[in-house]
Structure 1
Amino acid sequence: MKKWIFLFALALFFGCAKNNPEFVPLSLNWFEYQGDLAAIDSSYKPATVDSSFEETCLISMTRALMESKNLRECEESAQKYNVQYFGILVDGKSVLEFRGQSASIHEILDMEKEPLPLNKSKNCTFKARCDGKTATLID
């Protein structure tokens, strides 16, 4: 009996694997931006976030990016992303903002001190925010 259950589970596993070609693994390089927020947006007010808030947001953001149809549809070479994040105040509450773009070997940028220029012509860019519970793509 155990043999049949094992064979059924194995057949189900391989059957499902073949029917779901949409899974695209993403490689995410995280960088906490510690530069001047005014260089990104003059209206941003800095906020301090603790490590558990940051950890929760990184996990939520990873999930949101893995589920993003737009990022899955980017060309295969764009499945590696550089992601900057920083704390800001939005309506009096601390949130983490994320800015990401497909990584390029040719880009030499100190991601912790220089703002990531979101080049729309390069495609595969995004902005997102996390309130400590959920991450939401905003652009």
Structure 2
Amino acid sequence: MKKFLLLLTLAFLFGCAKKIPEFIPLSVNWYGFEGDVQAVNPSYKPAEIDSTLEEACLISMTRTLMEDKVIQEKSKNGKEFNVQYLGVAAKEGSALEFRGQCANPEDNTDFEKAILFFVPEKNCNLTARCEKGGKIQNLKIF
């Protein structure tokens, strides 16, 4: 009887134990866009981004992408992401605008000079903005 209770207790404890989420590696290729930002969007005005804001935004965006369930699911299927960022003028100074897509291994486009165009595949495109303090806003995955 004691063995039965011990086994029952252990089974209960293991069944109720909190499962650790699976770690899914995320592969992101970052591209700082050096072209004309108004070619991306005519309403954008170019802005210089200091290295502190750039670093904070890249770290925040990486964290945001790693936590997003849709991106995790795509990564689980072996997808890499190309993410292009560009400096734009914002209400309170400068901001980084992010544009991303699932990477195509055959594509050898230089996204530092060429505009990243979105692919038609569902949930394989993203946009976001990072402003003062490195806070990611308006993440959209489509």
Shorter-normalised TM-score: what interval? Answer: 0.7 to 0.9
Gaps of 5+ in 2: 1-16
In structure 1, the gaps of 5 or more residues are: 1-14
Instruction: Look up the match of 1:113.
Output: 113
Work out the percentage of aligned pairs sharing the same amino acid: 45
Secondary structure of the equivalent of 2:89? strand
Amino acid at match of 2:77: E
Question: If the length of structure 1 is used for normalisation, what is the TM-score?
Answer: 0.78
Paired residues, number:
122
Does the 8 Å contact 2:87/2:94 carry over to 1?
Answer: yes
* CA distance, structure 2, for counterparts of residue 21 and residue 122 of structure 1: 25
Q: Which residues in structure 2 correspond to 1:8-19 (within 5 Å)?
A: 19=19
CA 1:124–1:20 in structure 2 vs 1: closer, same or farther (change >3 Å)? farther
Partners in 1 of 2:25 and 2:132 — Cα distance? 24
The residue number in structure 1 matching 2:98 is 98
TM-score by length of 2: 0.77
Greater CA radius of gyration, 1 or 2?
A: 2
**Which position in structure 1 is the counterpart of 2:136?**
135
RMSD, aligned α-carbons? 1.9
Deviation at 1:37, TM superposition (A): 1.2
What is the alpha-carbon distance in structure 2 between the residues aligned to residue 77 and residue 55 of structure 1?
26
